[in-house]
Structure 1
Amino acid sequence: MSRKLFCELSPFTYRISVTKEILIRRLKWIIDNNNYANTIITKKLSNKVYTHKSLIRRKLGNVNMKLQENKAVNLKLAASKINGIIILPKEVFSFWKLVGNCTELKGYKEGLVIKSGKSSRGIGGGLCQFTNLIHWMILHSSLEIIEHHHHNQIDMFPDYGRQVPFGTGTSVMYNYLDYQFVNNTDQAFQLIIYTTDKYLCGELRSEKSLKYSYHIVEENKHFTKEKDNYYRNNEIYRKKVDKRTGNLIDKTLIKRNHSKVLYDKKFIPTKLIK
């Protein structure tokens, strides 16, 4: 039997470990010399780079739908902290530096969170959907992702209205699991994020049109049975295309997934099992 980590000994040691990581991140924000984006304007930049929306209330296995209702509240609160944010050249976007700690005093509710590969509840839960949306839009741009975490070793829920390939999601936890990207271009970008009754909606905008377009494609999608377990497999590529000529400039593998399925095998399409 493997030896337990300090954070796994008890709820108390877990809280100690989390507090330590939070303090370390706050110190990094002070000493890392990054210029973090913090300017919000209501007027939209002129060029629309990419748009996306995701359904807020989704059926996720046996997860209580009340947590989905609470997530809607959490997403709306977080959106108010980011909507209109301008990312100037050389600036870094940090999700947690903008949103801050999600507490009950700020109006956040209990939502779905993932801890140690299992679904759980926590105040501010469900914000992974927020960073999922941002990440998907940033993948379609020339902005550079510099911090990204993902539950890529497990496949927790069967597909339900999936719009993007498995393995292009994110994992965030205040504040030590952050989502960050840097603007290494010569123009400003802007994120427009808002919620409707049904959707979390996003726009990535820029001052002027981009020279290239970016396309995310999924290949080699299948499931495998290995001993008594099933695994989801796929490869995620990003294609860079010259807008003027339509020529493919580059095709880069950005993720290869081999993730243990944690739900009932009856939800796995038999035609995808190899």
Structure 2
Amino acid sequence: MTAETTETTTRVAPIRMSERWPRIRPVAVTYFRMRRHWQWLTGGQTFARTFGTEPLPVTVKKHRSLLLRQLGDADMWLQHNKVTNLRIAVAQLDGLVIRPGETFSFARLVGRATEKKGYVVGMFLSGGEVKPDVGGGICQAANLLHWMVLHSPLTVVERSEHSFDPFPDSGRVIPWGTGCSIFYNYIDLQVRNDTEVPYQLRIRVGETHLEGALLSTAMPAHSYHVEARDERFEQHEGIWWRSNQVWRRVVDRRSGNHVGEELLKVNRARVMYDPTMAYDDRTPGGRL
């Protein structure tokens, strides 16, 4: 991955109306939340809401992510509070069984993060900045679940990414651009089970990591390998932008043969730090 200091003519992501006119944001949030509730009532989806007390026998994918990381100048107390918020959120997710034909919705299961439920002020990303807000940090759970799902035949039907890259890579172990933005209830992670077997989510807050596993009753016929390609920083009118492509390679488990690949996402986000300085200590691919 390179940081190009020359000006480019690459298309720049449009500025959202709520960013251009912040005063309309409360009205926009109310509208989108009402619209989402209407979609839930009339969309015809069957949402997963069954929890299994016993884990399904086959582990399809396991992953864990560090709970406390030094992110720029963000206060660590926000991250410690994030751990509290994650404990509350994952209690609503652990053990969920997504049966064939059902859809998992992060927003429907976790609900709105409020002080009444025990949520505290944590790290919330808005407009490329870290802001304290009740329930901040629970998107880490969505990030972990999304990464595991990408290594399965489950179908991601809705997922939103952050529109800014606020921090230099620090301890990153998965490609940039595979995370999720969560904001109750209209910015959601939704996954549908189009297979013939059930899948189960297991997720817990460990001592140092958020730990997850995706289980099933049978091992899928294919394995999946997710990677970033064409990673770069570019400067446009004095503003740095980061972009990449996220691809998934499909491998037949029995033969080991490569049977296909697909482009999952083309990412582009405004960078809120100086990549020419942050890049000096990086290894190729942006991982430390």
TM-score computed with the length of structure 1 as normaliser: 0.92
Distance 2:30 2:240 in 1: 36
> Which residue identity is paired with 1:228?
G
Aligned match of 1:171: 181
Further displaced range: 209-218 or 112-121: 112-121
Aligned match of 1:260: 270
Aligned match of 1:209: 219
> Which residue identity is paired with 2:220?
L
State which of 34, 38, 45 in structure 1 corresponds to 2:49.
38
Task: Answer whether contact 1:149 1:170 (CA < 8 A) is retained.
Answer: yes
Residue 109 and residue 8 in structure 1: after superposition, are their counterparts in 2 closer, same or farther (change >3 A)?
farther
Distance 2:43 2:244 in 1: 36
State which of 69, 91, 98 in structure 1 corresponds to 2:102.
91
Distance 1:3 1:100 in 2: 28
5+ residue gaps, structure 1: none
Task: Answer whether contact 1:111 1:122 (CA < 8 A) is retained.
Answer: yes
State which of 188, 195, 211 in structure 1 corresponds to 2:198.
188
Residue 91 and residue 97 in structure 1: after superposition, are their counterparts in 2 closer, same or farther (change >3 A)?
same
Aligned match of 1:130: 141
Distance 1:21 1:171 in 2: 15
Aligned match of 1:75: 86
% identical equivalent positions: 37
* C-alpha displacement of 1:5: 4.0
Distance 2:269 2:16 in 1: 23
Q: CA RMSD in A?
A: 2.2
TM-score computed with the length of structure 2 as normaliser: 0.87
Residue 14 and residue 259 in structure 1: after superposition, are their counterparts in 2 closer, same or farther (change >3 A)?
closer
Distance 1:163 1:130 in 2: 15
Distance 1:154 1:43 in 2: 40
Give the total of aligned pairs: 270
* C-alpha displacement of 1:251: 1.1
Task: Answer whether contact 2:225 2:250 (CA < 8 A) is retained.
Answer: yes
Further displaced range: 246-255 or 98-107: 246-255
Greater relative contact order structure (CA < 8 Å, 6+ sep): 2
